[in-house]
Structure formats: structure tokens, C-alpha cells
Amino acid sequence: MSESRSAPAGAAAAARLESFSYDDDIVRKFLFVTILWGFVGMLVGVLIAIQMALPELNFAPFLTFGRLRPLHTNAVIFAFAGNAIFTGVYYSTQRLTKARMFSDGLSRAHFWGWQLIIVAAALTLPLGYTQAKEYAELEWPIDIMIAVVWVIFAINFIGTLIKRRERHLYVALWFYIASIITVAVLHIFNNLSMPAGPLKSYSIYAGVQDAFMQWWYGHNAVAFFLTTPFLGMMYYFMPKAAEGPVFSYKLSILHFWTLVFMYIWAGPHHLHYSSLPEWASTLGMIFSVMLWAPSWGGMINGLLTLRGGWHKVADDPILKFMVLAITGYGMSTFEGPMLSVKAVNSLSHYTDWTIAHVHSGALTWNGFFTFGMIYWLAPRLFQTELYSKKLMNTHFWIATVGIVLYIVSIYSAGVTQGLMWRAFDETGRLQYPDFVETVARLIPMYWVRVVGGTLYLVGVVMFAYNIMKTWAKRPAAYQVPVIQAAALPKAYSPEPLRPGANVPTTAFGRFMSLSFHRAWERAPILFTVLTLIAVAIASLFEIIPTFLIKSNVPTIASVKPYTPLELAGRDIYIREGCFNCHSQMIRPLRFETERYGEYSKPGEAVYEHPFLWGSRRIGPDLAREGGLKSNLWHLRHFQNPREVNAKSIMPAYTHIVENDMDFDVIQKRVDAMAMLGVPYGDAVNKAPEMARAQAQQIAADLKATGGGDGFETKEVTALIAYLQRLGRDIQTPTVARGSAGSPNTVATAPASAPSVAPGGGHP
Amino acid sequence: MSLTELMSGANLDGYAQVSLLLFLVAFGFVLWRVFSPRYSATYRKAAQMPLDDETPQTPRNRGE
């Protein structure tokens, strides 16, 4: 049985009514996988949270924190939130345009292609295949798949807009357009890389420029993957749930354009006090602070959509989820600009404060909005009543308590860390010179996080159970309502601006009456191009000078490329995800230079493909690691970190000690680097031989100092070679960190060089 | 002369501010457009769009 309805249409158009139906099957598919990947992503999140507090749970090699953390972030962002976006977009776009999706085939190709990408990520990340760029870890073949599937989605979406039957593009669709176009631009440009094997590549950008591109991408992945599509969904589903129109359509237009234009500038605030040029950092901060206005415009618009209907919130868990989601968005977008202010950032950066910030936004805004949206959709898509409203309510409260426990504990951990790092005693010395002291203090807070995260996960299980039971109640066959709506006439007759007014007849008249914006609103291709221009202007004004003005990256003559063995060691460092815990960027702040040594210079990273500055410190900075400790200390540290430092929470990396080094791949990697412009000289012809020679030197030292025999063929030798090289090219005095195994004394890098000089000379 | 040298010598100190000005001009236009009372009726109509697409269905259970 089917029913039909007529869309409002003029008498003339009524003669050309078209019948069609919506494709809800694709929406149901995306809904199911949203729940599945949400569960997986959050389960991995709980596991790595436990690993932070209980390092023995790092089951090397593929279940270690370093490899699982990107799996968690990718699963939650691209699998859970991504599929939630597609669920909301496919449902709302069809209804807002009064058109079935452009192509059922493309819809299915999008669905299965995206799931294939997720599976590929779930397999490759734990196996250590990573580009080491946050939220862009996936290797080049998967990146190509992402680009292809995204284009399929874009064609399907834009095609639907073109064949729509509703003249005006509702504001939700604007947000979808901005998301689709900007994510494509970000993904393509950030992931340009030089392949060095089937699942290995090097970023084409180096050092400062790579860091800049990464955080241009990274921040805007938050903006255009986790914010704008959800705002679009908010503008559709919030009025639905509240049963009233959006508070202010005018505000939605205003905050759309400001958000799209300003967000793209904000990325450099992730690189304050780094080697990024000062002007770029300041620009990022200013635009981040300005973002307060449009972000809160969106929040206010969402919340005030409930005007006159607040009493419904007490009784309707869906509204509770949505209200808390929007409130969480408001809190996060208040905190984000605050964290971009340099003075605040100097305390928060590298600490768990950033982690708390990300989670407060993700767990509320993305998580709760998705839950609210799916609870609203499930009865409609499954054409039956929701299994249990009581269970939905319980889910809300248990997840809310989980969020509170999570963020309170991790905010406390972050501030504790930041304050301990910068504390000086009355004699002017670091109060906590041993980094591990600042980690040990956090363990109780990490356990509270585990409890909070587990409660949130329990909520997800309740959610999944409720939706599955609802699905089980579905009728034997779904109804497929036939909709009737008039086709859009090809020629558009401008409407008067207000009843009784004349339509401007000249182009100038239309321009002066600002009806051009109205024209944009009904022209999807033009609108897409304009959005692209808004995004591109901001990007180019930052990117061009960063890449083309020489003074932004002053070179240092003594900085040379890594030797082939060091490069191989760096690849192992990347494979194991060490950059998830260790930074390689010393900020020009007194407490940093006292603890780690001379601050990092942009010229030090000119051969770093990719940059490895890190974004947090669970372990100490390694930018000046070279020469601070013996080769034997490093070996012992990988075998059992707690043997050299009882309070360490680093996983044991016994597999690196046991694995044989694959010398054959080194040549290909050196060649790829040379193609990127790294001056490798002779190494392009004899990289494996050079690597073997250097490995033998280190292995001889390990043997002589009691480490054991046979390390010249082991991976750990390459990793030691890399660590011993770090920071040595600028040869300046450094201060040892005072962690166990190294004396807390002033040392000069050349004088305290390891017993085997790393590299055996530069290539 | 390479592009890098050209850009380095261009002395683009106020370069980023140009973009800010461009944005302010565009923002002014949008602001004017949005708050012009003549468009109120259009916006009221547009705001109703999500509420104008309901396809009511009677909930049923398995087997119905």
C-alpha cells in the first residue's frame, strides 16, 4: 500500500506534477553502519584509555597504543561521524530537494566504497602503515580510494541538487555543499605524497610547510567534517524534533558565510611557538578568536529553535540529546578560540587539555547529535514505534555522566601536566625535572577517564540494542510513499522582493537590491564555486607566502639528510606511532629550553618528510635526543621501559628488538626522498650498503657495552641510529632531561656523543 | 629569477590584511542583505522548508 501527497505548487506547475519516491534503503544502510563503527571506535577508545593507565595491556605489536590511537580517531571521525553524516545528508537532502538521490548506483557505490575504506583503515593502521599525519594517517592507495568515493558522493549530491523540484536551497544544503567541497580540497592537498612502496609514502611537503599543510587540513577536518555537516543536520533535524522552524533563518545565512570564510584560516593555532613563522601563527590566532561569533551564532540558532517549546525537553529524550549536543558545541567553540590565544596555548599545548577539548566536542556535539538524530529517524525509517523510550532516556543519562567523568578528569590531567612542566622552584630550577613525574601524577585521572569512557560505551550498547529491537519490530514490507511535486521550470521568473514591489529590470538594479544572493541560493553549481572561492582565498593567502617566501624557512648549513639507516629508523618510529606520545619540537619557552635544550629552528626540519613535531607529550620531547643516552640505554628501554624507568607508561617494543631489518626496502625509500629534493648524493646508489655499515657500528657498541650479540640485522639498531641523530646537526649545548638512566646535568651534544657516532658521516 | 625569489622580494607585509578586508566587504554585503526587511517573507518561507516534507506513516509491527 502506498500513499501520495502533493507538494504546494502553482496552478501552472500543477499540470506537470511528477511522481517519485525517496531512497530510504540507503539511509537505513548508513544508519546501521553508524552504530556498528561507533561501537568499534569507542571500544578501541576505552582500550587505549586503559593502556594509558596500565601499560602492560599493550599487546605488541599490533595492539599497542601508538598503532591503536589513530585507529580510534579515524574510526570515530570518519567511520562513526562520517556514516552519521551520510545518514543525515541522504535523508534530508532528498526531502529538502523533493527529489530521489541522483543515482541509486552512485549511492550504493558510495556506501560500499566508504565501508571498504574503513575496513582498509582497520587493517592497515594496526599493522603500522601510516603517514604519521593526524587524521590523515592512511597510506596513499587508501587516500586515492577516499578521493574517488568522495567524488562519487559529490556527483550524487550535486546531481540531486540539479534535478531538484524545490527552487530554494535550504540552508542545511549550503552546509553540505561547503563540507563536500572543502573536504575534497583539504584531503587532496594534504595527502600529496611520493610513493616508496605499495603502502609507504613520503609527504611532498617538508618540515614547516608539511606542518602547516597538516594543520590547515587537521583543523579544517574538524571544521568541515565534524562541524559544518552537523550544523546542516542541526538545521534540518532540530526543527523536526522541536516541531517548529529554525529560530532565525537570517542568522543561519550570516553564520554560514562567516564560518566558511573564517574557519579555514584558523589551522596555524595548532603550531603556536613552533617553527612556524610568527605572522602565520598570529593570523591563525586572530581568525580563531573571531570564530567565536559565527560558532555561537549557530549554537544560539539551534537552541532558540526550541523557543516556546522548552517544556518538551523534559519529556522527550531526543530533544535532550540534541540540546546537550548543541550546548556541547557551544562549549567547545568557546574553548577553541580561547585555546588559540597564545598565552593560553603555551600552557595547554602538548597536554591532555587538548584531548579533553576534542572529546568534549566529539562526545557531545557529534555523538549526542548522532544519537538524537538516529532515535528520531529509526521509527520513521523502520516504520514502527521505537522499542523503548525508557532505555533511550537511560542512555542519555548514563552517557552524560560518562562525559562529565571523562572531561573533568582529563581537563584536570591537562592542567596538572601543563603546570608541572612549567613549575620552577625558588632556586630557579625546574621543580619537576624528571618528565616521568609529570606522567605518574596523571594515572588516577586516567582511571577516572576509563570509567567515564566505559559509561559512554555502555550507552552506545544500549543505543544499539534499542535500535536493533526497533528494527526487529519492522513490518513485513516497508511502505514506499509516492510523492508528487512539480518539476522546476527551466526558465526562472524573478519574484518581487515583497508583495506589490517591482522586480528590478537591470543587472545593476538587481545588484543594488542584493537579489544576487537569492540567485546564488537557487544555483547549486554557482553556490559551490563561490564556497570554493571563499575557502580558497583564505587558504592561498596563508599557503603562498609560507611556501614561496624564503625567509619563512631559513636554512642551516650544517643540517644534512638522515643516513639511509637513520631514515629506516625514522620509518620504524613512524610505523610504531611513537609520534603519538613524543614531540620533536622544543618551543622557545624557558621551561622547555631548560628541560630539553635549544629551541627548534625551522631550518632543522627541511629534510623531514613528513614533519614529526607531534601534538602531545605523554613522553618527553625528543628533538635533542641524539647523544643524551647510550645505545645500550635505548635498547633496554625498548625491551622493557620499566627496567630503566620504573614509572614509565611506554609499551615494551620487544618485536623491534627481535625483528630482522629489511635492508632491501631502504634503497627505494632513499630514492623517493631524493626525488622529493633531499640531496642524498651517493646514497641513491648504495643505500643498503651504507645502512649495513652503520648498523654494524651500533651493533658493535651494543655488544661491547653488554647489550648482546647480533643486533646488526635487527630493526632496533635502525631506530637507535635515528634517535641518536636527533638534534645533533645544530650542535648546541643541551640539558639532559634527568629521567632515569640519564644524569640531570648539563651536557654538550658533541662531547656527550654516543660511543658510536650516529651516521658515520652524512651522505 | 625564481618564483621564490620573486615572492621573497615582493615585501608582502600587508598581504594577509587584504584578505581580511575582502572578507569584511563581503560580510557587509551579506549583512545588508540578511537584515533588509524586504526579504523577511522569503526567509519565513525558507525556514518552514524542513517542516514541509512530512510523509506521515502509521506505525506498524512485524507481520502487519
**What ipTM was reported for this prediction?**
0.75
- Which residue, among A309, A272, A311, A304, has the nearest Cα to A288 in the 3D structure? A272
**B15, B45, B48: residue with CB nearest A545:** B15
Closest CA to A635 of A749, A754, A729, A746: A754
**Inter-chain CB proximity A472 and B55 less than 8 Å:** no
Mean pLDDT of A228-243: 95
Q: Does pLDDT of A449 surpass 70? A: yes
Residues near A324 by beta carbon (within 8 Å), at least 6 away in sequence: A364, A368, A396, A400
Whole-angstrom distance, CA of residue A693 vs CA of residue A700: 11
pLDDT in tens, A578-588: 999 999 999 99
Q: Give the pLDDT band of residue A478 (cuts 50, 70, 90).
A: very high
- pLDDT per residue as tens digits for the range A620-667: 999 999 999 999 999 999 999 999 999 999 999 999 999 999 999 999
Nearest residue in B to A385, CA atom:
B59
Long-range contacts of A9-16 (CB under 8 A, 24+ apart): A9/A485, A9/A486, A10/A486, A13/A486, A13/A487, A13/A489, A14/A486, A16/A486, A16/A487
Q: Pick the residue from chain B with its C-alpha nearest to A522.
A: B46
The reply to whether residue A479 touches residue B48, judged by beta carbons under 8 angstroms, is no
CB contact under 8 A, A257 and B27: yes
Residue among B39, B51, B61 whose CB faces A497 most closely: B39
CB A472 to CB B59 under 8 A?
no
The whole-angstrom separation of Cα A116 and Cα A121 is 9
Residues of chain B contacting A236 with CB distance shorter than 8 Å: 50
Contact A3 B8 (CB under 8 A): no
Query: Is pLDDT at A763 greater than 50 in this prediction?
Result: no
| CB–CB contacts below 8 A, A to B | 132
Name A530's Cβ contacts closer than 8 Å, sequence gap at least 6: A520
Task: Provide the percentage of residues in chain A whose pLDDT is more than 70.
Answer: 89
Instruction: Please tell me which residue, A757 or A302, carries the higher pLDDT value.
Output: A302
CB–CB contact B47 A249 (8 Å): yes
Cβ-defined contact of A498 to B38 (cutoff 8 Å): yes
Q: φ and ψ at A551, to 5 degrees?
A: -65, -10
Mean per-residue pLDDT, A598-614:
94
Separation between Cα atoms, residue A247 and residue A243, nearest integer Å: 12
Residues in CB range of A497: below 8 A, 6 or more apart: A503, A513, A515, B38, B39, B42
To the nearest 10 degrees (0 to 180), the angle between helices A683-704 and A715-725 is 100
Average the pLDDT over each of A189-193, A340-344, A706-710, B44-48 and give the range with the smallest value.
B44-48
Q: What's the alpha-carbon Rg for chain A, to the nearest Å? A: 28
Q: Give the residue from A734, A581, A626, A647 showing the smallest Cα distance to A434.
A: A647
Q: Do B60 and A168 touch (CB under 8 A)?
A: no
Nearest CB to A239 within list B4, B22, B50: B50
B50 to A236: CB separation less than 8 angstroms, yes or no: yes
Question: What are A41-64's pLDDT values in tens digits?
Answer: 999 999 999 999 999 999 879 999
Helix and strand counts by DSSP (H, E) for chain B: 3, 0
Identify the CA nearest to A318 among candidates A237, A421, A247: A237
Read off the pLDDT of residues A68-98 as tens digits, 9 standing for 90 and up: 999 999 999 999 999 999 999 999 999 999 9
pLDDT value of residue A754: 37
Pairing of strands A4-6, A482-486: parallel
Choose the mutation target among B49, B52, B61, B64 for the interface with A, i.e. most A CBs under 10 Å.
B49
Lowest mean pLDDT among A367-381, A423-437, A511-525, A630-644: A511-525
pLDDT of residue A741: 36
Please state the separation of Cα A638 from the chain's center in Å.
Answer: 29
Chain A residue closest to B59 (CA)? Answer: A384
User: How far apart are alpha carbons A82 and A153 in whole angstroms?
Assistant: 12
pLDDT digits (tens, 9 = 90+) for A99-122: 999 999 999 999 999 999 999 999
Q: Record the cell numbers describing residue A188, joined without a space.
A: 587532496
| Res. A683 pLDDT band, cuts 50 70 90 | confident
Which comes out higher in pLDDT, residue A283 or A577?
A577
Of A320-324, A529-533, A534-538, A608-612, the one with minimum mean pLDDT is: A534-538
pLDDT tens per residue across span B14-40: 666 777 787 788 778 778 877 878 778
Give per-residue pLDDT as tens, A184-207: 999 999 999 999 999 999 999 999
Residues of chain A positioned with their CB less than 8 A from the CB of B43:
249-250
**Model-level pTM?**
0.89
CB distance B47–A246 less than 8 Å? yes
Q: Stretch A549-577: mean pLDDT, rounded? A: 90
Nearest to B30 among A170, A254, A542 (CB): A254
